[in-house]
Amino acid sequence: MNKILEATHINKYFHDPVRIQVLSDLSFSINKGEFVSLTGKSGCGKSTLLYVLSTMDTDYEGSLFIDGEAMPKKNEPFLAKIRNEKIGFVFQFHYLLNEFNVLENVMLPGLKLNKYSKEELEHRAMEKLKILGIDQLALKQANHISGGEKQRVAIARALINDPHIIMGDEPTGNLDKKNSDLVFDIFNKLSDEFNQTLLIVTHDPSFAERTHRIIHMEDGVIK
Amino acid sequence: MSTKLLLNIAKSLLLARWKQTLVAAVGVTFSITMFITLLSFMSGLNDLLDGLILNRTAHVRIYNDIKPNANQPINGNAQFKDAHNFIGSIKADASRQAIYNSGAIMESLKKDNRVLGLSPKLTAQVFFNDGTIDITGSIFGINPTEESKLYHFDEYVTTGNSADLDKVNNGIILGKGLADKLLVGIGDAVQVTTSKGDRFQLKMVGTFQSGIKEFDNIQCYASLNTVQKILSVPKDYITSIQVKLKDITLAPAVAKEYEQLFQTDAEDIQTANSQFETGSSIRTLISYAVGITLLIVAGFGIYNILNMMIFEKMDSIAILKATGFSGNDVKKIFIYIAISIGIFGGMLGLLFGFGLSATIDQIPFNTASLPTVKTYPINYNPRFYMIGIVFSLITTYLAGWFPARKASKIDPVVIIRGK
C-alpha cells in the first residue's frame, strides 16, 4: 500500500502555564485513497494532532512523513510549499477572503503554486465548483453566499491543487443537518470517484461511522 | 508571477479599505507637499540673499594689499638663516596700490579658459561737497558693459541707465541714499574733492540700489576713465581686477595660482564671504529637518493604519499561510501596501508641492531694498522633488516593515483554533 502520511512516535507538550503532555507516543499511517475520521472527546488532543500533521504546528517530538518525505521542523518556506502543493484544508470556519469573488478564492492556492496558466486554472476551478454543484456562484462575492455554500467553496479551494490529502477540522461543526449531509456526501464522492485521501476530525458519531476507518483518541493516545 | 499575485492581493486589501488608505495617502501627500514648498521657498530665499552679495562679488579678486614686505633684510643674512627672526614695529612698505603691468595680466587672464570674464576696477576715496558739509564716499571706476554682463550691475541701477556712464562725459551713478542726502537728481552736477585736495565736477546720470543700505549711502560708480581723471593717474592705473570663473568652486585654487603667477594678492569668494555660505547651509538644514519631521509623522500614520489592517485581516493572513503562502509572502503583501501608499501619496505630494510653490511664486513681494524682486522667490530645483519622492518611499517602507513583519509571524494555528 502507498502510504500518503506517516507519523512515528509523536509527542507534544503545552508549555503554558505548566508543562502538560497532550500527545504521547502516537504512531500511525494513512494510505492512499483512505477516508479516515479522527474522533474523541473535547480536549483529547485530536485537533492538536491534526495541526501537527498539517505541518502548521512544528513544536513536537517525533517524525512526520508526507508522501514518503520527512518534514523538517525549521524550514518555514519549504513547509508552506508542501501545504500549498500536497495538503488541502477545510476548517470549521470557511476563511474565505471577502475581497475576492468565489472563483478567485478557489484559484488563490493555485495561483500561488503557479503550475498552470491563469486561463487553465480558471477552467480547473470551474470544474471543481461543478463537482460540488456550486458553479453558478462563481462570480459572486464571497460574503454574499450562504454558510453551507461557503463551506463548499472552501472544499473547492482545498481541491484546486489536487492535494495528496485533504485535512478537515470539524468541517461540519458549524452546519445544520442538511448541509452536514451534503458536505459528507461530497467527501464520500471525492473518496469513491476520485480516490481522494481524507483525514477529518469530527465529534459527530454519525459522520465518523460512515467513513472507512475511525481513529479514536482518548487523553492523547489512540484507543 | 508570484510577485504579480502578491501585488494583486495587496491591491484587493487596499481597495477593500480605501477610506483608510486615502487617509494614510493624504498624510504622505501633505507632508511631501509641505516638504517641496518649504525647500523651494527657503532655497529661493537663500539664492536671493546670496545673490545680493555673491552675484556682485568677483570669484577671484586680484589686488595689491597694504602690508609689510615679506622679505626683511635680516632674513637675507646668512648668519641667521636657520633661525626664527622676531622683528618688532614693522611698517607697511610704500609700494603703490595699483597693479603692475595690469594690461599684460588682463591679456593672459582672457586666455585662461577657466575664466568666464573679467572687469578692471579702480577705487577713489572722495568727499562729496554739499554746501558746507563734506560727505565721505567712494567712487568705483568700472567698465559698465563688462560689469553688467558679469555682475548684473544694470539690475541695480533703478533710475537712469548704466550705459550712460560711457556716453556722458564725467557721468556718475550715485547710491540712492547718497543722492537723497545730496538732494540731486539726474542731470544735476555733483562736486567732489579728492583726498589730495583736487576738486572735480561730475554729472549725475542715475541712481542705484544694492539692497544693502549702508553701501548705498557711500558708494558711487563712474567709468574707469573718469576715476582715472579724478585721481590724475595714467590710463593703465587700476587697483583690482575682478575675475569671474566658469566654476565657482575652483576659486580658492585659482586665487592661489594667480598670487604666484602675477606676484600680487588674490582673494577668492569663499574666503571673502564665508558667512553667507554658513547662513545658507543652516537655513537649508532647518528646512530639511522640518520636512523630514513631517514625513516621519506621516510614517506613523501609515504604521497605525497597517497595524489596524493586520488586526482586521488576521483570518485572511491565517488562511493564506495555511494554503501555502510563506511568512515572507505575507510580509511582501503588507510592504507592497505601504509602498503603494507611499508612491501614490508621494506623487500627489510632488504635484501639489509644485502647485503651491507656483502659487507662492505669484504672490507680490515688494521691498524697497530689493528693486529687482517683484514676487516671492522660489527655487524649482528638481533635486527637491527627487529627495521628496525618495524620502516618501523610505519612510513608507519603514512604516510598513514593522507591521509586515508582525503579520509574517502570525501563527495560523492560533487563529484557526481560536475560532
Separation in Å, CA of A80 to nearest CA in chain B: 4
Q: Are residues B345 and B211 in the same domain?
A: no
End-to-end alpha carbon distance in chain B: 33
End-to-end alpha carbon distance in chain A: 23
Per residue in A181-209, pLDDT (tens digit) is 888 898 898 898 888 999 999 888 888 88
Residue A98 banded pLDDT, cuts 50, 70, 90:
confident
What pLDDT, on the 0 to 100 scale, is given for residue B368? 64
Q: Is B12 on the interface with A (CB under 8 A)?
A: yes
Contact B324 A91 (CB under 8 A): no
What pLDDT, on the 0 to 100 scale, is given for residue B370? 67
Q: Are residues B143 and B258 in the same domain?
A: yes
Q: Mean pLDDT in chain B?
A: 85
Q: Which of B1, B327, B413 sits opposite A51 (nearest CB)?
A: B413
Q: Which amino acid is at B204?
A: M
Q: How many Cα atoms are found within 13 Å in the side-chain-facing hemisphere of B76?
A: 5
What pLDDT, on the 0 to 100 scale, is given for residue B302? 79
Looking at residues B185-206, what average pLDDT do you find? 89
B149 closest CA partner among B227, B52, B55, B219: B55
Q: In chain B, how many domains are there?
A: 2
pLDDT score of B57 more than 90: no
Structural contact between residues B352 and B28, judged by C-beta atoms closer than 8 angstroms: no
Contact A95 B12 (CB under 8 A): no
In a domain, B145, yes or no: yes
| Cα–Cα distance measured from residue B353 to residue B358, given in angstroms and rounded to the nearest whole number | 8
Q: Are residues B201 and B284 in the same domain?
A: no
| Cα–Cα distance measured from residue B30 to residue B64, given in angstroms and rounded to the nearest whole number | 55
In a domain, B367, yes or no: yes
Per residue in B13-26, pLDDT (tens digit) is 888 878 888 888 88
Contact A95 B316 (CB under 8 A): yes
Angle at A30 between CA A25 and CA A35, to 5 degrees: 125
CATH numbers and ranges of domains, chain A: 32-58+72-222 (3.40.50.300)
Q: Which of A51, A76, A111 sits opposite B5 (nearest CB)?
A: A111
In a domain, B316, yes or no: yes
| Cα–Cα distance measured from residue B162 to residue B221, given in angstroms and rounded to the nearest whole number | 9
Name the 3-class secondary structure at B35: helix
In a domain, B84, yes or no: no
In a domain, B114, yes or no: yes
Q: Are residues B286 and B412 in the same domain?
A: yes
Q: Are residues B285 and B139 in the same domain?
A: no
Looking at residues B218-226, what average pLDDT do you find? 90
pLDDT score of A42 more than 90: no
Q: Which of B270, B302, B318 is the last residue of a domain?
A: B270
Q: Which residue range is the domain that position B48 belongs to? A: 2-54+276-418
Q: Percent of chain B having pLDDT more than 70? A: 97
State phi, psi for B140 to the nearest 5 degrees: -95, 125
Q: Which of B224, B251, B270 is the last residue of a domain?
A: B270
CA B135 to chain centre: 35
What pLDDT, on the 0 to 100 scale, is given for residue B348? 93
Per residue in B131-185, pLDDT (tens digit) is 788 888 999 999 888 888 888 888 888 888 888 888 888 899 999 888 988 888 8
Q: Are residues B291 and B328 in the same domain?
A: yes
Q: Which of B252, B270, B288 is the last residue of a domain?
A: B270
Q: Are residues B243 and B106 in the same domain?
A: yes
Contact B5 A47 (CB under 8 A): no
In a domain, B83, yes or no: no
DSSP per residue over B71-129, as a string?
A: --HHHH-GGGTTSPPP--S-------SSPTTHHHHHHHHHH-TTEEEEEEEEEEEEEEE
Q: Are residues B266 and B280 in the same domain?
A: no
Q: Are residues B260 and B286 in the same domain?
A: no
Q: Say what the pTM is.
A: 0.72
State phi, psi for B83 to the nearest 5 degrees: -95, 165
Q: Are residues B309 and B413 in the same domain?
A: yes
Q: Is B418 on the interface with A (CB under 8 A)?
A: no
Locate B366 and state its grid cell: 515688494
Per residue in A51-92, pLDDT (tens digit) is 888 888 888 898 999 988 888 888 888 998 999 999 998 888
User: CA nearest A85 in B: which residue?
Assistant: B324
Structural contact between residues A143 and A175, judged by C-beta atoms closer than 8 angstroms: no
Separation in Å, CA of A181 to nearest CA in chain B: 22
Q: Are residues B21 and B139 in the same domain?
A: no
Which helix (H) or strand (E) segment holds residue B267: the answer is strand B265-268
Q: Mean pLDDT in chain A?
A: 88
| Cα–Cα distance measured from residue A131 to residue A124, given in angstroms and rounded to the nearest whole number | 11
Contact A84 B323 (CB under 8 A): yes
